[in-house]
């Protein structure tokens, strides 16, 4: 039997060990260590932002972003239905209401032409989420935030190193966020970052990150925060990873290119769009969507690939189909046919940075074998 190909394995063969040893040798392992600041400065600089606030993960970065922007009880936030639950969690926990739009069928990102119709007097913000490798078409979104005076939250968790018309993803939001989970382009094991150019927002985010301790009277609190701090150990890994971001992005490009070449003639499969007029796909993950002629859904395709010893993951499940939101009376009567189709017929192949060309070829052979039989 051939060996199992996992859906993701991180690549940690730069200076990660050296920097971690530095933490251990000096005893600086908490969030007070110097790698945290270095990592914040380096990522902010890379993305062209004034402030970076390192946090414990990308989900909580969104929670802090929503609260820091003053979004609360009764406010509405427009976001894609096709995204991770973290986006909705941040909105709902702040007491605000998620309002969703469907996907664009080609890019799988939010269909920005549907946003304006969802804007009401209660709308406070738009939360854009760049999905799977291509950014959201930002120009129309920026025009709307200007026209209606809305805040912009940019979830760039999957977009390290990506650009929109040459401008870095993570530089568009009033607040932008990243995740460093091990399947992202750069990882800290667990981790996240909040980026902004607004000094006041940066201060609010760092206060929320650290239990809203006050500089003057530390243990007297005016507000409730969280402990969202990133440790020096995590930041040490993050800094070593960030040094190699360009290399990682180039590697993802060639992974995507090779998969696309190998799968181009398999009928019944929709492959990721290699580029749009504003960006090249960076293939955070290499997704496949089963066309109508395939008589089964993603769950079955994934099961069959598992029999070939290949790991996969399903696509996101739509927010408007989440039981947890329905139970709260949210998003109950929505219809987003494109996203519903993607959720049922989409999944992704092994896409990690450790994946070899040989493994990619083996995955492509298995996909071909399964889908040549299926049509
Ligand atoms: C990974 C991811 C997150 C969450 O990040 P964690 O660090 O896992 O909490 C948020 N949004 C998107 C779009 C993601 O892909």
Q: What is the CATH number of the domain that holds 85?
A: 3.40.640.10
Confidence of residue 215 (pLDDT cuts 50, 70, 90): confident
Residues 133 and 225 in one domain: yes
Residue 240 has pLDDT above 60, yes or no: yes
- Residue 372 has a pLDDT of 86
Residues 59 and 196 in one domain: yes
Question: What is the 3-class SS of 27-72, one letter each residue?
Answer: CCCCCCCHHHHHHHHHHHHHHCCCEEEEECCHHHHHHHHHHHCCCC
Domain span at residue 60? 16-242
Residues 190 and 263 in one domain: no
Residues 182 and 223 in one domain: yes
C-alpha of residue 106 to centroid of ligand 1, in Å: 22
Q: Which atom of ligand 1 is the closest one to the Cα of 61?
A: 9
- Contact in structure between 126 and 79 (CB atoms under 8 Å): yes
**3 within some domain:** no
Question: Distance between terminal CA atoms of the chain?
Answer: 27
Residue 47 has pLDDT above 90, yes or no: yes
C-alpha of residue 353 to centroid of ligand 1, in Å: 18
C-alpha of residue 228 to centroid of ligand 1, in Å: 15
Strand extents, DSSP E, 301-349 = 313-314, 346-349
Q: End of a domain among 196, 214, 242?
A: 242
3-state secondary structure of 178: strand
3-state secondary structure of 190: coil
Q: Is 256 in the pocket of ligand 1 (CB under 6 A)?
A: no
Tens digit of each residue's pLDDT (9 = 90 or more) over 217-231: 999 999 999 999 999
Q: d(Cα 337, Cα 365) in Å, to the nearest integer?
A: 31
- Residue 2 has a pLDDT of 82
- Residue 375 has a pLDDT of 57
Residues 120 and 233 in one domain: yes
Q: Is 310 in the pocket of ligand 1 (CB under 6 A)?
A: no
The pLDDT mean for the chain works out to 97
Query: Are β-strands 269-270 and 286-290 bridged in parallel, bridged antiparallel, or unpaired?
Result: antiparallel
- Residue 1 has a pLDDT of 61
Residues 187 and 254 in one domain: no
Residues 186 and 164 in one domain: yes
Q: What is the pTM of this model?
A: 0.97
**304 within some domain:** yes
Residues 104 and 128 in one domain: yes
Q: Is 363 in the pocket of ligand 1 (CB under 6 A)?
A: no
Q: Is 58 in the pocket of ligand 1 (CB under 6 A)?
A: yes
Sheet with 286-290, edge to edge strand ranges = 269-270, 286-290, 346-349, 313-314
Residue 321 has pLDDT above 80, yes or no: yes
Q: Is 179 in the pocket of ligand 1 (CB under 6 A)?
A: yes
C-alpha of residue 19 to centroid of ligand 1, in Å: 25
Q: Is 80 in the pocket of ligand 1 (CB under 6 A)?
A: no
Q: Is 8 in the pocket of ligand 1 (CB under 6 A)?
A: no
Taking the CA atoms of 148, 150, 152 and 153 in sequence, report the sign of the dihedral they define. negative
Residue 170 has pLDDT above 70, yes or no: yes
Q: Is 107 in the pocket of ligand 1 (CB under 6 A)?
A: no
List the residue whose alpha carbon is closest to atom 12 of ligand 1. Answer: 157
Q: Is 129 in the pocket of ligand 1 (CB under 6 A)?
A: yes
pLDDT > 70: percent of the chain: 99
Residue 310 has pLDDT above 80, yes or no: yes
* CA neighbor of 164 nearest in space, from 144, 147, 142: 142
Give the mean model confidence (pLDDT) for residues 310-315.
98
C-alpha of residue 250 to centroid of ligand 1, in Å: 22
Confidence of residue 190 (pLDDT cuts 50, 70, 90): very high
Residues 184 and 290 in one domain: no
3-state secondary structure of 163: strand
Residues 224 and 286 in one domain: no
Residues 227 and 262 in one domain: no
**135 within some domain:** yes
Element containing residue 16 per DSSP (H, E): helix 16-26
In CATH, what number is assigned to the domain containing residue 305? 3.90.1150.10
Q: d(Cα 239, Cα 193) in Å, to the nearest integer?
A: 12
Q: End of a domain among 197, 223, 242?
A: 242
List the residue whose alpha carbon is closest to atom 14 of ligand 1. Answer: 157
Q: d(Cα 238, Cα 167) in Å, to the nearest integer?
A: 22
Q: Is 188 in the pocket of ligand 1 (CB under 6 A)?
A: no
- Contact in structure between 278 and 141 (CB atoms under 8 Å): no
Q: In testing the pocket of ligand 1, which one of 60, 64, 84, 230 has its CB within 8 Å of the most ligand atoms?
A: 84
**176 within some domain:** yes
Element containing residue 237 per DSSP (H, E): helix 232-242
**Structural domain total, the chain:** 2
Give the mean model confidence (pLDDT) for residues 263-267.
94
**7 within some domain:** no
Q: End of a domain among 189, 213, 242?
A: 242
Confidence of residue 211 (pLDDT cuts 50, 70, 90): very high
* CA neighbor of 80 nearest in space, from 93, 67, 99: 99
56: β partners: none
């Amino acid at each position: 039997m051939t060996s199992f190909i996992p859906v993701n394995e991180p690549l940690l063969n730069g200076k990660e060990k050296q920097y971690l040893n530095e933490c251990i040798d000096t005893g600086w392992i908490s969030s007070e260590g110097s790698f945290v600041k270095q990592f914040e400065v380096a990522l902010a600089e890379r993305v062209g932002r004034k402030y970076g606030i390192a946090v414990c993960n990308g989900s909580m970065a969104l929670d802090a972003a929503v609260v820091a922007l003053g979004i609360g009880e009764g406010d509405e936030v427009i976001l894609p239905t096709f995204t991770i639950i973290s986006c909705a969690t941040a909105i709902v926990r702040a007491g605000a209401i998620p309002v969703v739009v469907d996907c664009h069928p080609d890019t799988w990102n939010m269909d920005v032409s549907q946003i304006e119709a969802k804007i009401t007097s209660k709308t406070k913000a738009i939360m854009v989420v760049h999905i799977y490798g291509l950014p959201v078409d930002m120009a129309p979104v920026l025009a709307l935030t200007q026209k209606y005076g809305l805040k912009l939250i940019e979830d760039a968790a999957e977009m390290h190193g990506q650009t929109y018309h040459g401008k870095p993803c993570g530089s568009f939001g009033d607040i932008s966020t990243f995740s460093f989970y091990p399947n992202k382009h750069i990882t800290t094991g667990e981790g996240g970052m909040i980026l902004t150019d607004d000094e006041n927002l940066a201060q609010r985010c760092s206060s929320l990150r650290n239990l809203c301790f006050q500089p003057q009277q530390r243990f007297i609190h005016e507000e409730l925060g969280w402990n969202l701090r990133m440790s020096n150990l995590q930041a040490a890994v993050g800094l070593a990873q960030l040094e190699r971001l360009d290399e990682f992005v180039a590697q993802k490009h060639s992974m995507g290119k090779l998969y696309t070449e190998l799968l181009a003639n398999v009928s019944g499969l929709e492959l990721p769009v290699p580029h749009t007029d504003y960006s090249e796909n960076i293939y955070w993950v290499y997704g496949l969507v089963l066309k109508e002629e395939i008589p089964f859904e993603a769950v079955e395709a994934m099961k069959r690939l598992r029999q070939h010893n290949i790991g996969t993951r399903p696509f996101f499940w739509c927010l408007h189909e989440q039981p947890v939101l329905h139970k709260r009376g949210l998003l109950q009567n929505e219809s987003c046919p494109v996203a519903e189709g993607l959720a049922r017929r989409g999944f992704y192949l092994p896409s990690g940075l450790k994946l070899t060309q040989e493994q990619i070829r083996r995955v492509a052979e298995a996909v071909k074998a399964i889908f040549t039989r299926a049509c």
